[in-house]
Amino acid sequence: MTPSPPAIQLVGLTKCFDRTTACDRIDLDVRRGEILALLGENGSGKTTLTNMLSGIYQPDAGRVLLDGKPAVIRSPRDAIRLGIGMIHQHFKLVEVLTARENILLGQRGPLKTRPEDALASFGMAVDLDKKIYDMSVSEKQAVEILKVLCRGADKLILDEPTAVLTPQEIQHLFDALDRMRKEGKAVIIITHKLDEVMAISDRVSVLRRGVNVGTVETARTDRYFLTELMVGRPLDLDVRRAEAPLGPTLLKVSKLTARDEGGRQLIQDVSFELRGGEIMGVAGVAGSGQKALCEIIAGLEKPSDGSVFMDGQRIDGLTPREIIRRGVSMAFIPEDRLGMGLVGGMNIPDNLLLKTYRDEKGIILRRRKAREEAQRMVERLRIVTPGLNVKLSKLSGGNVQKVLLGREISLGPRVLITAYPVRGLDIGASMTIYDMLNEQKQKGVGVLFVGEDLDVLLSLCDRILVLCAGRVSAIVESRFATKALLGMKMTGLRTDKEDEYV
């Protein structure tokens, strides 16, 4: 008996951008009833590869075989017609419509599968008549998955699906994926979290610099081998908590409350104290008020109630510049990374000048010192750049991050606020960032670390503040906390609130 051909087979798939080869003759296959993890650092070609499969990019060379037959995918519409369902990291749903309406939207002809049937067979809990804006992140994700399933997708590609989920939600997702596997669907899951790779996949393909450096069976490998494949060298994976004497209270936030322009509550009654020599983690589902909290402390937004004290002096209501002068430094990385804090169209020295250019007297902008500082920073932090005059937007995410954090640290802050500093970064670069934060802590700086990865929060931070729907649901000592506890606290208050309305 000949085995059936793989659901997706890539042969020599190649894509070049200018002089760089994003995907270099990649061979890869996924069989039915199998979950393949696609593992790789940032810039290893994962996204380019999936974009070719979903019809966003056209390959420069090579071919795609679906169930053994050559296929040309010219557009996302082609992709779905051929049974390829892509779940992007950023959801593409219409907020004001219900789940059912989103599933039907843009569909020509009848659905291949009724939403109710798909829900039942994969054990997903979604209210089809709920509006998207009422949904949590994981529900939205479920709708995205339903959408492609109902349109007949039997080959699913999920791009970093767990990045925005709590541990409990991740488990639900994995259960659903497992059922799909049993139904004979082919699933590709893109991730750089090794634990998840080990937990869910049957095989792993590792990409490094656009090349498939190896495909292994998950059962026959371990995290260390995979890391080495991915990074190209063995790497210490343990995030350490540095020892440092606890200093005086630097930042005191009490009863902070803020609303957005539409009057929606962003944070409510947030209180905590941050001391020198500690790293305080902030955990929470995306959109729980992390952004508002950071922006208020940095003076970018005004609270509607409550206060922020630095060294016993009130700083809320001061301008960002005055707050910077008092030694509060914020390295805030929004999703698009260059959104706030850096200017993509400028080079490294000009970006370093942002907070210090006014310290020199006169009207002339003095770039010399910044150039020297940039040169030192490039060497010290091993920033990969063709030169100092290259625009920041041309650097990779990890290097951009190093510039941002490097600049904030070079200002000699007393309080350092950093949000998602390792988002989208590879393991090696992430480790550098954690080391930088630990170093600051040992210098007596108070670090507020808004993070996503609970494992990292637990091992790096001294204490963790858990935000849930804008409120502090817990402040725990990391030594005594568990992932499950954090997960519950992250969603905990939401159920309380629902109870109130029942």
Partner 1 sequence: MFKPLLSAPHVVQRGEVKPAAAWAYRAFAVLIALAAGGVFLASLGYNPFRVYASMLMGALGTPGMQRETVKLTIPLAMASLGVLLAFKMRFWNIGAEGQFALGAVAASYFANFQPQLPPALLISLMAASAVVLAGLWGLVPAWFKTRFGTNETLFTLMLNYIVLYIITYLREGPWRDPAGGFAATPRFPRQARLPELHFPSIGNVHIGLIVMLLAVVLVYLYLRYTKQGYEIAVVGQNERTARYAGMPVKRIVLRTMFLSAGICGLAGMMQVAGPDRQLTDAVAGGRGFTAVSVVWLARLSPLGSLAVAFLFSVMQKGCSMMQTEFRIPASMSDILQGIVLFFVLGAEFFLQYSIRRRREVPA
Q: Locate 59 and state its tokens.
A: 């390959």
- The count of other CB atoms within 10 Å of the CB of residue 51 is 21
Q: Which is nearer to partner 1, 168 or 356 (CB)?
A: 356
> Rounded to the nearest whole angstrom, what is the least distance from the CB of residue 343 to partner 1 in the complex?
5
> Rounded to the nearest whole angstrom, what is the least distance from the CB of residue 336 to partner 1 in the complex?
10
> Rounded to the nearest whole angstrom, what is the least distance from the CB of residue 72 to partner 1 in the complex?
5
Q: What whole-number distance in Å separates Cα of residue 351 and Cα of residue 13?
A: 38
Cβ-in-10-Å burial (0-12, 13-18, 19+) of 38 comes to buried
Which residue's structure tokens are 């909290």?
A: 293
Beta bridge partners of 468: 471
- Residue 378 host element (H or E): helix 368-380
Q: Tell whether residue 495 is a contact of partner 1 (CB under 8 A).
A: no
> Rounded to the nearest whole angstrom, what is the least distance from the CB of residue 9 to partner 1 in the complex?
13
Q: Tell whether residue 203 is a contact of partner 1 (CB under 8 A).
A: no
Q: What whole-number distance in Å separates Cα of residue 222 and Cα of residue 234?
A: 13
Q: Which is nearer to partner 1, 338 or 427 (CB)?
A: 338
Q: Locate 340 and state its tokens.
A: 């706030």
3-state secondary structure 34-59: EEEEEEECCCCCHHHHHHHHCCCCCC
Q: Tell whether residue 16 is a contact of partner 1 (CB under 8 A).
A: yes
Q: Give all strands (DSSP E) within 145-287, no chain letters.
A: 155-159, 186-191, 203-208, 211-217, 249-259, 265-275, 279-283
Q: Tell whether residue 69 is a contact of partner 1 (CB under 8 A).
A: no
- Helices 167-182 and 115-122 sit at what angle, rounded to 10 degrees? 100
By rule CB under 8 A, what count of residues binds partner 1? Answer: 47
Q: Tell whether residue 59 is a contact of partner 1 (CB under 8 A).
A: yes
The one among 68, 70, 184, 232 contacting partner 1 by CB under 8 A: 70
> Rounded to the nearest whole angstrom, what is the least distance from the CB of residue 290 to partner 1 in the complex?
16
Q: Which is nearer to partner 1, 3 or 386 (CB)?
A: 386
Q: What whole-number distance in Å separates Cα of residue 145 and Cα of residue 160?
A: 13
The one among 5, 33, 62, 214 contacting partner 1 by CB under 8 A: 62
Q: Which is nearer to partner 1, 122 or 332 (CB)?
A: 332
Q: Tell whether residue 345 is a contact of partner 1 (CB under 8 A).
A: yes
Pairing of β 463-468 and β 279-283:
parallel
Binding track, positions 264-303, relative to partner 1; x by CB under 8 A: ----------------------------------x-x---
> Rounded to the nearest whole angstrom, what is the least distance from the CB of residue 333 to partner 1 in the complex?
12
Q: Tell whether residue 394 is a contact of partner 1 (CB under 8 A).
A: yes
Q: What whole-number distance in Å separates Cα of residue 271 and Cα of residue 131?
A: 33
Q: Tell whether residue 341 is a contact of partner 1 (CB under 8 A).
A: yes
> What SS3 class is residue 200?
helix
Site residues (CB under 8 A) for partner 1, limited to 316-335? 319-324, 330, 332
Q: Which is nearer to partner 1, 394 or 497 (CB)?
A: 394
By CB under 8 A, name the binding residues for partner 1.
11-12, 14, 16-20, 25, 58-63, 70, 72, 74, 298, 300, 319-324, 330, 332, 338-346, 350, 353-355, 357-358, 363-365, 394
